[in-house]
Structure 1
Amino acid sequence: MRVRRSDKGRRDYLVDAFALLQGWTRDGHEMRRTLPLDDSQHAALTESMKVAADALQLRAEARRLDGHTQIRVPTPEGGGLSDSEVALAARIEDLYKRITGVVA
């Protein structure tokens, strides 16, 4: 027997999954995260992040500001979070931990 989930249940699941990603925020139609990285770590994260975003067919932007890397992942206008967007945020978090050696 196949169990169908309502769209509301799916949205609740994604909101809960996103909430587990510490440091990530949603602001309007984007997800954001600011990370303390040096220039070489920023370059490594940006390159790896682009590969992950391309694989999920999403956009992700990173910029340097005052010794920090600001990450922005636009989300569709009028829509909630998607599986792919939450997966990308989680992947970026994993990349950050691998690049910096941060242990969760």
Structure 2
Amino acid sequence: MRALWSSRAKNDYLSDALALLEGWTREGREIERTLQLSDSQHAELTERIKVVADALHLRPEIRRLDGRTQIRVGANDGDDITAGEVTLAARIEDAYRTVTSED
């Protein structure tokens, strides 16, 4: 038997999950994070993100600007943020901790 979730309950659940991710902010239908990384850390993090994003069928936007790595995750079709995007953000946080602890 499956429980049915109303869209309001789903959004509350995702908002709660997103609130647990330190440093991520919500801008409309996207979530974003800016990280201070070296060039080598940026390259390693980007590769790790690509692996997870491919598995989740998501396409985050990753930019390098003035020694910072900017990451944006959002729905391609203009829908609200999904569990997949919040999951990707959590996995990015894990990868970030791994990359920065290796130095």
Length-normalised TM-score, structure 2: 0.88
Q: For the residues of structure 2 that align with 1:44 and 1:68, how far apart are their CA atoms?
A: 14
Query: Shift of the alpha carbon at 1:11?
Result: 1.3
The residue that corresponds to 2:95 in the other structure is 95
Question: Matched residue pairs, number?
Answer: 101
Q: Secondary structure at the match of 2:16?
A: helix
Q: Secondary structure at the match of 1:85?
A: helix
Q: For the residues of structure 2 that align with 1:13 and 1:73, how far apart are their CA atoms?
A: 18
Q: For the residues of structure 1 that align with 2:54 and 2:28, how far apart are their CA atoms?
A: 23
Query: Shift of the alpha carbon at 1:2?
Result: 4.9
Q: For the residues of structure 2 that align with 1:96 and 1:44, how far apart are their CA atoms?
A: 9
Query: Percent of counterpart pairs with the same letter?
Result: 58
Query: Shift of the alpha carbon at 1:3?
Result: 3.7
| 1:65 matched to 2:88 | no
Unaligned runs of 5+ in 2: none
One-letter amino acid matched to 1:40: S
Unaligned runs of 5+ in 1: none
Q: Is the 8 A contact 1:32 1:70 kept in 2?
A: yes
